[in-house]
Amino acid sequence: MIAQLFSARWLRAWPAPVMASALLLLAGCRSSGRPDANGASAFATGKYRNLFAEAGHSRKEIRARVDAAFQQLFHGDPATQTVYYAAGANNNGPLAYVTDIKSRDVRTEGLSYGMMIAVQLNRKAEFDAIWNWSKTYLYIEATNHPSHGFFAWHATTNGVSIDDLVAPDGEEYYVMALYFAAGRWGNGRGIYNYRAEADQLLSRMRHRPVITGKVRRRGPGQGTVTGGPLFDEEHRMVLFSPSSERNRFTDPSYHLPAFYELWSRWGPAEDRQFWAEAAAASRDFFVRTVHPVSGLNPNYAHFDGTPVNLGRGAIFSYDAFRTAGNWSVDWSWWARDPRERELSDRLQTFFESQGLADYGCQFSLDGMRQIESRHAQGLVAINAVASLAATHPRSKDFVEALWDTPVPNGIERYYEGLLYLMALLHCSGEFRIWTPHGS
């Protein structure tokens, strides 16, 4: 079977140790079935691996590293360090946004990541200020709007929408952060009734009626589009975009089975089976969309896992950084599918072969062509998170590489910094499940 997958020329181009390891992983890639219990997973035990402690770093050192990163990225020098900015107040309280420094704009991706970081670090003031800004400026209330009940994904820093359409990864992180807030702090009133807000948004992600109408778009200005739910009902998969402007496909880095498992327990009762099936679908999808030797995945993919060619082609690029973190956290929290361990080993085999200290950040999917040589701190961070699932001793080297990486600053600090800080939380055992009261 393997000989049918790859040409002789392609096989000869790989170093022998890398090829041998990859072929062994491919041969072992199989369905895991449905275990009867959660076993030794973090959900079952309440114990989260501290990869930094396993590598020999003291609890005091680790605490100081996490706190310093948060302080720099949320309250550091406004010109060179922070991505979090206070923006006044309204009747609901303080407002604040997280901004993409390089593009000078705001995205639901960064806002929802900021909320997740805040709840994990018990920073309620920052959480509430970001949520308030999101609801005040990005939430679409108009019932005839294709994005009704969701959030415009892209805006200026003063809250003017640039693109009214929905980026579903933002909604996914909003929901999860809100449930965790309900668990950690309890529910307040109005927009701070975290669980009610999460339940409503999660229900719409599956059931929101299809609406056709005019939207503001980045680039082309206004146009008429049709939008509906954020998940494909048949395939149980998150969409890259619910808009009719594109064919329906997905983004591997939007697949969050660790979250879906929680929604199958905490979400609206009528949808819980759907979320359990979505978690299983994503685990199977990871195996199909990840390259069988390099371990790289495309930025965008069809539901069968085959790459979608958008923009610069079907490549491993910035969105794709995050996918390995998603399957590895899923393994850490649930331990449902051993194939995720094989995927982490495969990916780390590839990046080790590229030189651990200086590998690039964009590649062809087979790994044979490096497209960008920059050693991206965000990718270093997620490759360390992959060690939560990896089995090979090399995984410790990826954890240490993150430890040795400084907190991102300057022009790239938005995406690189948020991935970096979330990776510190994952690798220190501080990215945890906070169960809402009554669940």
Which residues are marked as active site?
109, 319
Dihedral sign computed on CA atoms, order 151, 417, 301, 389: negative
Give the span between the Cα atoms of 307 and 351, in whole angstroms.
Answer: 21
End-to-end, the C-alpha distance of the chain in Å comes to: 47
CA dihedral 72, 434, 203, 270 (to 10 degrees): 170
Report CA-CA distances (Å) from 27 to 91, 185, 212, 353: 59, 47, 47, 20
Q: Is 335 helix (H, G, I), strand (E, B) or coil?
A: coil
DSSP summary character for residue 390: -
The secondary structure of 152-218 as a DSSP string is -SEE-TTS-EEE-S--HHHHHHHHHHHHHHHHHH---SGGG-HHHHHHHHHHHHHHPPPEEEEEEET
Distance of CA 265 to the CA centre of its chain: 20
Give the span between the Cα atoms of 171 and 173, in whole angstroms.
Answer: 5
Instruction: State the Rg of the chain over Cα.
Output: 21
| Spatial contact of 313 and 244, defined as CB atoms under 8 Å apart | no
Give the span between the Cα atoms of 172 and 166, in whole angstroms.
Answer: 11
Structure tokens at 225: 């589009």
- In one-letter notation, the amino acid at residue 40 is A
Query: What are the φ/ψ torsions at residue 87 (nearest 5 degrees)?
Result: -140, 45
Query: What are the φ/ψ torsions at residue 204 (nearest 5 degrees)?
Result: -65, -35
Q: Angle at the Cα of 390 (from 385 to 393), degrees rounded to 5? A: 110
